A = this chain, B = another copy of it.
Amino acid sequence: MTQETSVLVLGAGAIGAFYGAILHRAGARVSAVLRTEYETVRRAGFEIESELGDLSFHPEAVYRDAGDCPETPDILLVCLKVVDGIDRAALMREAVGPNTTIVLVENGIGIEQEIAEAFPGNRLISGLAYVAVSRVAPGRVLHKAYGQLVFGNFPSGVDEVTEQLAALLEAGGVKATPTDDVVRERWRKCVWNVAFNPASVVAGGADTRTMLDAPGGERFMMSLMLEVIAVASAEGYEFPEGMAETGLEQTRMIPAHRNSMALDYLHGRPMELEAVLGNVIRAAERTHTPVPHLESVYVLAKMLLEKKPPLEG
């Protein structure tokens, strides 16, 4: 992989646009597949305001569909939402050639296996973005803070291509951290997300301060995090319990904010509930780990998201 590396970003929302811009900045040839913002980005490119400077760029090509690409890329950077009704493997299919490395930068637990099975002959890298970006208008992204990408080969290891991707990302200006145990890193990242994201939805799209300040809020969020840690442990990934305390302290330290799932809920967009929480609940069932607080949030969220009859009387 060199600076002549071809990258195709699939699902160029805020995260995809940002890492696309970083790789473009590093000299890679970056194209993008996007649906709703196709016209805007084709005409005007991505406009990306960042603490790193102006990251705006025109992709080499913009497609409506992976099937429109004349050739398959070296790297397929997959930044799709993991939601019911979206067949990620089908969306990727036409963009995956024999030498294509698939890089998932997506949320949730246990989201790689389906892709590994759909593309058994391809290198699969799983990645976790620690970045605060948001889409402020069609084709316009605001990068607010952070940017680190933690990633490794799935299910484990760090090979040459992963090292090269790290070098490219660092050249582009973000911290790149290869890990030989990316599933563990996924659990680590998810402890907070699994606890806070779905609970914030059931709490009506609550921000972090509202959640922690509610009577019993801190203890409840601790219980949720400790249950995620217990499931990770049952799956073979041990973490110290102090991790939950740390998560709470860090949440207290940063300004009140609504997480992405809370915003999706309030804006009526699809949510990654199954990828983030449902898969943890299923792992708990498999490993007979009691998770009464997580189960409560999950079932209440399922009830909440059901279509309900209109209000009578």
Contact = CB atoms under 8 A, between A and B. Distances in A.
Interface stretch (A28-36, A94-102, A164-172, A209-217): A209-217
Nearest to A257: B312
A223 B304 contact: no
| Interface size of A as a range | 35 or more
B216 A302 contact: yes
A252 to B, nearest CB: 16
A283 to B, nearest CB: 15
A77 to B, nearest CB: 25
Nearest to A292: B292
A220 B136 contact: no
B297 A296 contact: yes
Contacts of A214: 299, 302-303, 306
A220 B266 contact: no
A267 B211 CA distance: 23
B302 A300 contact: no
Interface string A288-313: 00001101111110111010110111
A205 interface: yes
Interface of A: 134, 136, 199, 202-207, 210-211, 213-217, 219-220, 223, 256, 258, 263, 266-267, 292-293, 295-300, 302-304, 306, 308-309, 311-313
Given A217-B302, A293-B295, 20 more contacts: A134-B313, A199-B303, A202-B202, A202-B300, A202-B304, A203-B304, A204-B304, A204-B308, A206-B306, A210-B306, A211-B303, A214-B299, A215-B299, A216-B302, A220-B295, A263-B311, A293-B296, A296-B296, A297-B300, A300-B300
